[in-house]
Each structure stands twice: as structure tokens, then as C-alpha cells.
Structure 1
Amino acid sequence: MTAQLFFIDTVSGEYPVTLAQIRAAHPLTVFPEPFNEAFEGFAPVATVVPPAHNPATHKAVELQPVEASGGWEQAWMVVPLDADEIAQVRAGLLAALNEEYERRMQVIAGGYPLSERESWHVQTAEARALLADVHALTPWINGAAAARQIDRHELAQRIAAKDDAYRAIHGALTGVRQRIEDQISAASDDVQALADIDVFVGWPGM
């Protein structure tokens, strides 16, 4: 185990600080040499990692070093997250959920240029109107059908079919997002329940 000396900076009150940090912050400070022999009271503090814990539900709080055989050892206490930290966990879950939802929605629309996506509501409205009434006015479909050299009724049927498929997957993705959002809301301040929520599972296949 690696040992290192730690001190309290009597000027700033900061703890722990190393001898090098004290010298950098207070260059006029003079230490007797060799330092370890001159100040036997400053025993080494072993650098120890915090105890194992679940960071989703608890945090490790660093305490003052405790005397141990051969020197001093850093002490830790594992405590539950407080209310503010639980609120941050909940907010993080919601943010991750919405990001995953948007990512999956973009997979659906990713193959189409933005300018075309902006016309989808016009396309679907004209397609539904034409399929319901052969005399409906459909300037967008008329222009697109002429350019593609296909019958406008055939184009309307293709648009309607794609719209049906899009609505189905959009509804499924939105339903999953809302279900997970309900789980987060129901968990409230139950940190373990929040930790058990995985915003990346349960989505329909693309």
C-alpha cells in the first residue's frame, strides 16, 4: 500500500494537502530537513480507495484519518444519498430517457432530408383527402406524381401506407417513453427503485 503525507493548510483550512501543495501555495515556508525525521508526529496516511458501494444509492464520505498499526489510515463512511442527490438521479434518468427517445425517433426519419420531412403533414393530408375523394385538390401530390411519372392515386396510396407505418412505430416509441417516465414518477424518492430503472431496455425493434 502506498503511503503519503497529508496535512492541514493552516492558512486556507484545506485538508488534505500534500507537502508539495503547501510549498507551492506558500513558497516562503521553511521546513526542517529531513522533514520526516523532524516531524515524527506527522505519520503517513495510507491512500485507500473508498469502500465498495452502489453509487446509484449511496455515497462514500471521507472522514478524518484514524490511527492504525504503522501509521494512520484514511477512514470512510458510506451513507445514503440525500434528497438533493436523489432529485439529481431522477433528473438524470429523465434526461437520459428523453435522449434515447429522440435518438430512436431520428432513426426513423434519418433517411429523409429535413426539407422533405417538413412537408410530411402536407403529403399525408393531401393523400388522405385524395383517397377519400377523387376530386380533392392535391397540388403537392400532383406536382410530385408528375415529376415521378406515376399516377397520383398510386402516390397517395404509398404516402398513406408510409404514414400508417410511421404512426405505428411513433406510437410504440412514445408509449415506451411514457411508461418509463411513469416508473420514474412512481419511484419518487425511493432511490433503490430509481436505481432499478433502465431507460435503455424495453424499446421495440427498429
Structure 2
Amino acid sequence: MPYIDPTGVNPGWSLEAQLGLGLTKWVDDVATGKALGQLRAEKEAEINAAYEAATAALALGYPESERETWPVQIMESAAVLAGEEVDTPWIDAAAVARGISRDQLAIKIRDMDVLYRQISGALTGKRQALRDLVQAAQTPEAIAAVVWG
């Protein structure tokens, strides 16, 4: 791809960058107004923002303090369901407060964790697929056609 002088000081083109002469931009960059790299970066930021909004929706309705206990809940529920003889103070206290058995609570926690992982995995896979499409796109129109929706 030939280089052109974006300043107009050195009209013409060269097949090699002539940095000292100001010949530094690809012809395609000038024609599109933005380099494909910049368009890709902007599109990836747009996709990442949509991904963040979608994943944040998974935690709606759960206070931050409760979300901070999720790793403990998952660990203790796995121990209960595996029949391990270990202390599970979080599940024991929560089960009593809810009026259900620790086994019932462990099953609920496991089921919610599996559902969360499935949805999170699908959202992450979608983000990665869209990123791959953006990276493979060779025109501004192809980049613009990649949407989260």
C-alpha cells in the first residue's frame, strides 16, 4: 500500500515510509478518515461496554456484600454435596436462617452457580466471537456491521 504525505508538503506517494519527509500515512487511512486499527479499537470498546452491561445484569438484585460471599458459598456447597466432613459455617448459618436443610441450600447454590457459569460463558464467548470478527474485518463497513445486539 503506498504512503502519502498527509500534510501536503510532499505531494506524491512512495511504497516505503519516508518518515523524514512526512510520508507516514497509508492511502487507505486518508480515504476512510480513520485507520482500520482505530476503528477496530473503537468497535472493541463498544463491544466490551455491551458485554460489561450484560454481565453486570447477572448480579442485579444481589447486594455487593452477598456477592462477596459467592466463592465461599460455592466452596462450601461443593463440600456438602461431596459428603465431606468439613466445617461449612456459612451454609449452616444461612440454611438455619432460611429454614431449609444444609443439603437443600447446597443444591440451590450449586444450581445457581451452574446457571451463572452457563450465562457468563455464553456472554464471554459472544464477546470473543465479535472481537474475532472485528479483527478479521478488512473494511470500515465490515467493522461497523459487527454489533452486540
Q: What interval of TM-score do these two structures reach, taking the shorter chain for normalisation?
A: 0.7 to 0.9
Alpha-carbon distance between aligned partners in 1 of 2:134 and 2:81, rounded to the nearest angstrom: 43
Alpha-carbon distance between aligned partners in 1 of 2:140 and 2:66, rounded to the nearest angstrom: 44
Alignment match, 1:33: none
Is the contact made by 2:43 and 2:144 (CA closer than 8 Å) also made in structure 1? no
Query: 1:114 and 2:64 equivalent?
Result: yes
TM-score (norm: length of structure 1): 0.55
Q: Looking at CA atoms only, which structure, 1 or 2, has the larger radius of gyration?
A: 1
Deviations 1:167-195 (A, max 9, x none): 110110011000001111112x5323212
Is the contact made by 1:131 and 1:156 (CA closer than 8 Å) also made in structure 2? yes
Q: Cα RMSD between the aligned structures? A: 2.0
Alignment match, 1:166: 116
SS of aligned partner of 1:135: coil
Alignment match, 1:155: 105
Is the contact made by 2:51 and 2:123 (CA closer than 8 Å) also made in structure 1? yes
Alignment match, 2:144: 195
The alpha-carbon deviation at position 138 of structure 1 amounts to 0.8
Unaligned runs of 5+ in 2: 1-27
Alpha-carbon distance between aligned partners in 2 of 1:119 and 1:168, rounded to the nearest angstrom: 20
Deviations 1:21-66 (A, max 9, x none): xxxxxxxxxxxxxxxxxxxxxxxxxxxxxxxxxxxxx9xxxxxxxx
One-letter identity of the residue aligned with 1:172 = A
Unaligned runs of 5+ in 1: 1-57, 59-78, 202-206
TM-score (norm: length of structure 2): 0.74
Match of 1:177 among 110, 121, 127: 127
Is the contact made by 1:130 and 1:137 (CA closer than 8 Å) also made in structure 2? no
Query: 1:102 and 2:52 equivalent?
Result: yes
Q: How does 1:40-189 map to 2 (within 5 A)?
A: 80-82=31-33, 84-187=34-137, 189=138
Deviations 1:124-163 (A, max 9, x none): 1110111001523211111111222221111001100111
Is the contact made by 2:81 and 2:106 (CA closer than 8 Å) also made in structure 1? yes
Percent identical: 43
Choose between structure 1 and 2 for higher RCO, CA contacts under 8 A separated by at least 6 residues: 2
Alpha-carbon distance between aligned partners in 2 of 1:122 and 1:174, rounded to the nearest angstrom: 23
Aligned length: 122
The alpha-carbon deviation at position 111 of structure 1 amounts to 1.1
SS of aligned partner of 1:153: helix
Alpha-carbon distance between aligned partners in 1 of 2:62 and 2:144, rounded to the nearest angstrom: 37
Is the contact made by 2:74 and 2:110 (CA closer than 8 Å) also made in structure 1? yes
Instruction: Specify which structure has the higher proportion of helix.
Output: 2
